[in-house]
Structure 1
Amino acid sequence: MTGPGTLTELADGAYAYIQSPGGWCVSNAGVLRGRDGLVVIDTVATLGRAHAFRDTLEQLGQGPVRFVVNTHHHGDHIFGNCVFAPPATVIAHDAARAEIDKAGLGLQQLWPDVDWGEISLVRPHLTFPDRLELDLGPRIVELLHVGPAHTTNDIVAWLPDSRVLYAGDVAMKGVTPFVLMGSVTGSLRALTRLRQLGPSTIVCGHGQVCGPEVLDDNEEYLRWLLDVARAGVARGWTPLEAARRADLGAFALLLDPERILGNLHRAYVELVSPELPLGTELSVLDAFHEMIDFNGGRLPRCDA
């Protein structure tokens, strides 16, 4: 396990809680100060990390956590819900509740050596289809559904007054994007939409706080991925064969490069079967086992 996160104020009453280095299950969170307390955006992966996050908020001394916003259903963003709710109200996209029920605590099985703690799944209490505004008193926060992208149920939190964007895993800084449970095409559309908002500061789901250039960086990777997938399909290669033949170039410097396997499985489906709905369910375990093969038989590193 790496160390606890760092809380940084980005604008008046808007904070980023950054956990380094940002790879598998080492995720970020956001904090917004409202008239009657705090809004937390995502709740990290393990019980220990969630308690450390809560302790940091208590030291902030800005009141109780009234709302928790889950940007999507993955465990590294929701497992800490149980530390805040009850009494906090958990908000997510309409599709998140069913995905949480389906996934359960399965993420823990992928990395059994991680000290996850005794997690109790807390599902969303309030969901919405496309857009929801929270009136925090001094500001309005806009919750926008932009999926399917990283998953089918991605939402972002946008602060138009300060131009701060909490992007969830739709954008990652210094970490390989991951679209196995979402869509390559949908991710490209989502990045375009986020760019149109005009953010000046972006809190990604993983990695350091950054500017809008991260949207271009993620798009560049995804377009390269599509080129690799097209070449693989044309030559009759499996996703694993295509990944082994691919020249990662500068993308090899990103954390978790083995994610190319999951990403290629998604890209292949979208190229070969374009009639399927974006985000059609694929086997996560099959892709994960191929990631291990690509990684020389080693389990991908998880510092949660």
Structure 2
Amino acid sequence: MTDWVEVADRVLVWRQPVLDVNAVLVLGDAGALVVDTLSTPAQATELADAIRRVTPLPWRVVNTHHHFDHCYGNAVLAPDADTEVWAHTECLARYDRWIAEDGGKERVAAIAAEFDIPGLETVTLRGPDRAVPGEVTLDLGGRTVDLRHLGRGHTDNDLVVVVPDAAVVLAGDLLEDGAPPSFDDSWPLEWAGTVAALIELGPSTVVPGHGNPMTPDAVAAQHAELAALEWACRDGWRDHAPAEEVAAKAPFGSVLAVQRAYAFLDGAL
């Protein structure tokens, strides 16, 4: 059975084996914050039960970005309007659009067809309802947390959650441990700058979207790779080098990352 790991004072990580994704619980004196809600109703129900084993406090939810493995448990963790779900403005807009079209059925079906995860096809989309355009501070009672959009990187709607009194930053998929980043919705020419802004927050512990908690040195190493990728893309575009050639020499080896960088520099993204 998956169990909580306390990485700092009252900051607990629930590491879901499917996709090795992290959900996080931050406890205050009067309330709790659940950061990301996993992929399926079954995963989210297990997470909710685990939260109740730790605390009876009411909770609010944060989605670090719009991807299914961080949001598709929303309907379980926030079944009605009494439970707030916070996310960046662009994340909220996406879910509003998908749900307005057909209740989100087409979007869920497309994701379920792409990812072979049992129960994914049964998801009811529940989007965020509290927007974070830049920065919001939430009071959990005796403890505050900051929700901050530091810039684009993994997506255009990445949020980090800062727990100042524990020197912890929850990074979502701006950082990953044990696997290369996903570049599907990425902004490769801005990602390193966004991670640099995260480093400037001075965390002692960073919880990535997937994998083990990261030390400042590990974060710095991933930032260096993202910066090297950025400049490989800029140099390749300037030299009219094929994306495949640049990717073969750049960190992570992602042709898609180079293609997206080129599209941005061409004004097509």
Q: Which category describes the TM-score, using the shorter chain as reference length?
A: 0.7 to 0.9
Match of 1:19 among 16, 20, 24: 16
Q: Match for residue 122 of structure 2?
A: 118
Q: Which deviates further from its counterpart, 138-147 or 101-110?
A: 101-110
Match of 2:79 among 70, 86, 89: 86
1:138-161 Cα offsets, whole Å, 9 max, x none, are 211011012311111111110111
Q: Which deviates further from its counterpart, 102-111 or 9-18?
A: 102-111
Task: List aligned pairs for 1:1-304, cutoff 5 A.
Answer: 5-20=2-17, 25-60=19-54, 62-87=55-80, 88-100=83-95, 101-102=97-98, 104-105=107-108, 106-112=110-116, 114-116=118-120, 118-230=122-234, 232-233=236-237, 234-237=239-242, 239-240=243-244, 242-243=246-247, 246-247=248-249, 260-270=254-264, 272-273=265-266, 275=267, 280=269
Aligned-pair distance for 1:29?
1.1
For 2:204, give the aligned amino acid: S
Indicate how the Cα distance of structure 1 residues 194 and 231 shifts in structure 2: closer, same or farther if over 3 A, else same: closer
d(CA) in 2 for partners of 1:64 and 1:80?
A: 19
Aligned-pair distance for 1:242?
4.4
- The percent identity for this pair of structures is 30
Consecutive aligned runs of 4 or more in structure 1 exceeding 4 Å deviation: none
Indicate conservation of the 8 Å contact 2:205/2:215, yes or no.
yes
Task: Give the gaps of 5 or more residues in structure 2.
Answer: 99-103
Query: TM-score, normalization: structure 2?
Result: 0.85
Indicate conservation of the 8 Å contact 1:201/1:212, yes or no.
yes
For 2:91, give the aligned amino acid: A
Aligned-pair distance for 1:34?
2.4
Indicate how the Cα distance of structure 1 residues 186 and 65 shifts in structure 2: closer, same or farther if over 3 A, else same: farther
For 1:38, give the aligned amino acid: A
Q: Match for residue 290 of structure 1?
A: none
1:201-232 Cα offsets, whole Å, 9 max, x none, are 11100110121223222222223323543565
Indicate conservation of the 8 Å contact 1:149/1:170, yes or no.
yes
Q: Which deviates further from its counterpart, 187-196 or 207-216?
A: 207-216
d(CA) in 1 for partners of 2:118 and 2:48?
A: 20
Secondary structure of residue in 2 paired with 1:178: coil
Indicate how the Cα distance of structure 1 residues 90 and 28 shifts in structure 2: closer, same or farther if over 3 A, else same: same
d(CA) in 2 for partners of 1:219 and 1:158?
A: 18
For 1:93, give the aligned amino acid: H
Aligned-pair distance for 1:179?
3.5
Aligned-pair distance for 1:75?
0.6
Indicate how the Cα distance of structure 1 residues 214 and 65 shifts in structure 2: closer, same or farther if over 3 A, else same: farther
Paired residues in the alignment total 257
Indicate conservation of the 8 Å contact 1:177/1:218, yes or no.
no
Indicate conservation of the 8 Å contact 1:36/1:63, yes or no.
no
